Amino acid sequence: MANGASTTRPSLLEQPVQGSRRLSNYLVATVVTAGGLGFLLTSLSSRLGRDLLPIGHPAELAWVPQGLVMGAYGVAAVLLATYLWSVITLDVGAGSNRFDRESSQATITRRGFRQKIELDIPLRQILAVKVDVRDGLNPRRRLSLRLQGRRDLPLTRVGEPLPLAELERSGAELARFLKVPLEGV
């Protein structure tokens, strides 16, 4: 489904789902960390009156208000970076979609912050596989299950939209396996 091939045997289909350990998340966390440390060093340079950065002359900034504001930005960025690195370390969102015809169960698992999230659904409650494609400023390409008496259950990762061909291939494979219609294509 999302990074890795699905496992298929006649009565079992398992699709891995990538979590937060993606290149884009590593890049964002690195940039936020570097920026936060830069702001903190600028603030500290302003307070000490000594340049702690190799570029510019932050020691010439007035401690009040520029140094304090730089320090506040630095603290905020370091806290955000700590959160981002925690999400990456825990690989939040990783898991799998497992469909087993022998037990007539679908098991959706994901890693959360504090616990593993596991959802068991009887296969008879699955009415269709839905492909949801929305382009524009905030694009969404999502695969979900249409369930009887419940809201649609998303199956694909959050964040980067899947390529359309991969989304359609995964949806068609799942709909064939479950013997339900494929909607939205």
Q: What is the domain partition of the chain in residue ranges?
A: 7-20+92-183, 25-90
Percent of the chain past pLDDT 90, that is, above it, reads: 71
Measured distance CA(19)–CA(95) in Å, rounded: 7
Query: Per-residue pLDDT for 162 more than 80?
Result: no
Mean pLDDT on 27-53: 96
Band (pLDDT 50/70/90 cuts) for residue 158 is low
Band (pLDDT 50/70/90 cuts) for residue 82 is very high
Q: Which residue has the tokens 């506040």?
A: 72
Predicted pLDDT at 160: 65
Measured distance CA(152)–CA(184) in Å, rounded: 13
E strands, the chain, where? 7-9, 12-17, 95-100, 105-111, 116-122, 126-134, 140-147, 153-154, 182-183
Work out whether strand 153-154 and strand 140-147 pair parallel, antiparallel, or are unpaired. Answer: antiparallel
Take residue 52 and report the two structure tokens written for it.
């702690």
Helix-then-strand count for the chain, H and E: 3, 9
Picking from 6, 3, 4, the residue whose alpha carbon sits closest to that of residue 172 is 6
Predicted pLDDT at 136: 78
Measured distance CA(91)–CA(113) in Å, rounded: 9
Percent of the chain past pLDDT 70, that is, above it, reads: 92
One-letter amino acid of 60: E
Predicted pLDDT at 41: 96
What does residue 122 show for φ and ψ, rounded to 5 degrees? Answer: -65, 135
- Find out whether 134 and 140 touch, Cβ atoms under 8 Å: yes
Mean pLDDT on 100-127: 95
Predicted pLDDT at 134: 81
The highest-confidence range among 9-23, 30-44, 143-157, by mean pLDDT, is 30-44
Give domain 7-20+92-183's CATH number out of 2.30.29.30, 3.40.190.10, 3.40.50.300, 2.60.40.1240.
Answer: 2.30.29.30
Measured distance CA(32)–CA(81) in Å, rounded: 6
pTM of the full structure: 0.81
